[in-house]
Amino acid sequence: MTEVREITIVVKWSGKEYPITDLTDQDTVAVLRHEIFKMTQVRPERQKLLNLKYKGKPAEDNLKLGNLELKPNFKLMMVGSTEADIEDACQRPDDIGEVIDDLEDNDEEESLQNSAIYLAKIQKRIKDYTITELNPPRPDKHLLVLDIDYTLFDHRSSAESGAELMRPYLHEFLTCAYEHYDIVIWSATGMRWIEEKMKLLGVSSHPAYKIMFYLDSHAMISVHTPDRGVIDVKPLGVIWGLYPQYSAANTIMFDDIRRNFLMNPRSGLRIRPFRQAHLNRSTDKELLKLSKYLKDIAINCKDFSKLNHRKWEHYDPRK
């Protein structure tokens, strides 16, 4: 008789980790899905298990876990929504993100930018955070910093392939932007998760553009704001400290959550979130329109800090 070996798999889903301990190498992928459902309430048919592969293909439900030769405490990346979330999302008005995340023009923004404690935190990141450059910066380029979730990718909807979750025109957008901008991806998740997603979307290997580097949650800093409590933000100073050729004059950052650029409010453009990919795939033209904006300002504007990205749709190069 074969010896039964216990297996622990850590499921990463929606920013949290769920250790699944009640498994052996004789259990099938279907059993694993069932266990995941018990932990997360994401139904088995809605679970997309991104890195569970057998011979290069997604592992079938009847395959035994022992055949997958997983490392101890293997981290399994999952995308999927609970029934409650799906119901919720269907009733959610489109602009709720705006209500929650929008910041008014006020002094808080400016004071945070220059507060010594945050500058010290940024200095610490500059010193301690290791950037793995995938491609070198190019002379005389601007800098574009992009969020992933809901900016380039709908990470909550279920789908069969990365292409279905990808925001429309993503590759066209990046190809066009690359002409004038060095491109950085910055997501509030972990680096392995970012790498998986970029691979899934075909961004990491696209022939028409290159990504300079990825930044993950460890490059972010926590700030305490009077109105919002403690939040994590993406300070561009971390990049500017390491790459002095970029500054507020030539950097723009896209995120669907405005508070992520609380440290650099003038450099941030809040993009409309891309949610419910299955419903909005045929109508979402945000990236197409933003390609034009990026090109227009790169050619016509010498100092990006003079721009008001809240009005990007009305930008007129002649004014």
Residues making contact with Mg ion (CB under 5 A) = 147, 149-150, 256
Q: Measured from the CB atom, is 80 or 273 closer to Mg ion?
A: 273
Q: Measured from the CB atom, is 23 or 191 closer to Mg ion?
A: 191
Query: Measured from the CB of residue 273, what is the shortest distance to Mg ion in angstroms?
Result: 7
Q: Measured from the CB atom, is 121 or 156 closer to Mg ion?
A: 156
Contact (Cβ atoms closer than 8 angstroms) between residue 63 and residue 140 = no
How is residue 274 written in tokens?
A: 């891309």
Q: Measured from the CB atom, is 52 or 203 closer to Mg ion?
A: 203
d(CA 272, CA 150): 8
Closest alpha carbon to 200 in 9, 51, 82, 11 = 51
Contact (Cβ atoms closer than 8 angstroms) between residue 25 and residue 5 = yes
Query: Measured from the CB of residue 188, what is the shortest distance to Mg ion in angstroms?
Result: 7
Closest alpha carbon to 290 in 168, 164, 189, 188 = 168
Q: Across-strand partners of 137?
A: none
Q: Measured from the CB atom, is 188 or 298 closer to Mg ion?
A: 188
Query: Measured from the CB of residue 186, what is the shortest distance to Mg ion in angstroms?
Result: 10
d(CA 319, CA 304): 14
N-term to C-term CA, the chain: 80
For Mg ion, the nearest residue by Cβ is: 149
How is residue 179 written in tokens?
A: 């002409």
- Amino acid, res. 308: N
Query: Measured from the CB of residue 257, what is the shortest distance to Mg ion in angstroms?
Result: 6
Q: Measured from the CB atom, is 109 or 255 closer to Mg ion?
A: 255
Query: Measured from the CB of residue 200, what is the shortest distance to Mg ion in angstroms?
Result: 16
Query: Measured from the CB of residue 182, what is the shortest distance to Mg ion in angstroms?
Result: 21
Contact (Cβ atoms closer than 8 angstroms) between residue 226 and residue 76 = no
